[in-house]
Amino acid sequence: MTDSPREACPYLIRISPAFADVPAELLEALDCIPVKRLGREFFLVKSARPESLETEPAAAFSGWRMPVDHSWPCVPQETPGFVEKAAQAMARKFGTSGVQSVVVGTLDPSEPGRYHGLLASNLRGRALQVFGDGLVRDAEAQNPESPTLFALVGREGLFCGVIRPREAGGFHAGGFKFIRQNQDDHVSRAGAKIAEALHFLTLHQPVPGTGAHWLELGASPGGMTTELLARGYQVTAVDRAPLDERLRGAKGLRVVAGDAGEFRPPAGTRYDALLSDLNGDPVESMNSVIRLAGFLQPGGLVVFTLKLPQSGDFPAMLRALDQCTSLAREAGWERIAATHLGYNRHELTLFFRHPEASR
């Protein structure tokens, strides 16, 4: 998507602070040369093999990526008429490129104050006006396989690139999906994690329909359970620890107090999706999931939280990812995607499809 030579292809990639102690190893595994750090989570890099940013196993640790087809190094707050000048420049360069939408975000969403967030919103609004009719206005209504013009703004200036949302790793610039949670129903932050996971899944396939039955392993205290129930799903929640009292008697919920490694569903039970957020050894967790995957409907979905080994040991993290992916492959599963979500901590989220999905 860029006219730059392959040996000097600039990219902007996001690496979560969760991996703040291994960015050099991660970038090396992605065959990237670091150029500059932007904000807290973004790295401007150059790559001779841009495809590695999607295909290498280490790509799962980078939550989002974008080719830098246009940049304007400046201090927006000190640049008179920044929004108008930036919108016009974007229209001149990309106005005839056939993009489906213009989506703008910030290089540092967590920075104090709201200046760059408001700037990004104003720039997107003006860019949509300048580009004219026909663009998708709702970022989440985009076609994941059609090109989008993404832009990120911050203290370092403006960075733009054209890429398909599926290839970028999200519908929003930077990939982060803010999840608003009702404090009265907020059992744990894990609710935002599964909400973001289902949002990410739509880059690849539809989410399970209303009424689908989920088997959830490692459910306590119930943050993910709460989110699934709120979406109209049925949930069988398995954990040795109890769920939050607020979930007592919840419609559509069956609670099983016990070890996920020993749980066996009643004969004839079939689930539409399986969610695992088990703590402990990742291989043991994956084996527990594989043992129960036979109770999935053909084409059923598996969402697996891969709890990574200790921080700082990147080779061990890669081995854990490879081991769990290999076990799933040996079970006949198709891997849909693997990524680090904005609400993940020192972990990855893996998505698989039951082996009978294509039958």
Q: pLDDT exceeding 90 applies to what percent of the chain?
A: 83
State pLDDT tens for residues 273-305.
Answer: 999 999 999 999 999 999 998 899 999 999 999
Q: Are residues 80 and 221 in the same domain?
A: no
Q: Are residues 331 and 221 in the same domain?
A: yes
The pLDDT of residue 6 is: 45
CB 271 within 8 A of CB 300: yes
The pLDDT of residue 207 is: 97
State pLDDT tens for residues 106-126.
Answer: 998 888 778 999 999 999 999
The pLDDT of residue 185 is: 60
Q: Are residues 285 and 160 in the same domain?
A: no
Is 335 strand, coil or helix?
A: strand
Q: What average pLDDT does the segment 59-69 reach?
A: 95
Is 310 strand, coil or helix?
A: coil
Number of domains observed in the structure of the chain: 2
Instruction: Give phi and psi for 246, each to the nearest 5.
Output: -65, -15
174 is a domain residue: no
The pLDDT of residue 4 is: 42
Residues ≥6 apart with Cβ < 8 Å to 151: 86, 90, 102, 103, 104, 105, 120, 123, 124, 127, 158, 159, 160, 173
Domain span at 50: 6-168
84 is a domain residue: yes
> Taking 60 as the threshold, does the pLDDT of residue 31 lie above it?
yes
Q: Which of 115, 144, 168 is the last residue of a domain?
A: 168
Q: What is the mean pLDDT of the chain?
A: 92
319 is a domain residue: yes
Q: Are residues 225 and 125 in the same domain?
A: no
Q: Which of 117, 143, 168 is the last residue of a domain?
A: 168
Query: What CATH number is attached to the domain comprising 325?
Result: 3.40.50.150
Q: Are residues 144 and 187 in the same domain?
A: no
Instruction: Give phi and psi for 157, each to the nearest 5.
Output: 120, -150
Q: Are residues 146 and 26 in the same domain?
A: yes
Alpha-carbon gap, residue 142 to 68, rounded angstroms: 21
> Taking 60 as the threshold, does the pLDDT of residue 306 lie above it?
yes
Cis amide leading into 221 (omega within 30): yes
> Which contacts (CB < 8 Å, 24+ apart) does range 248-251 have?
250/225
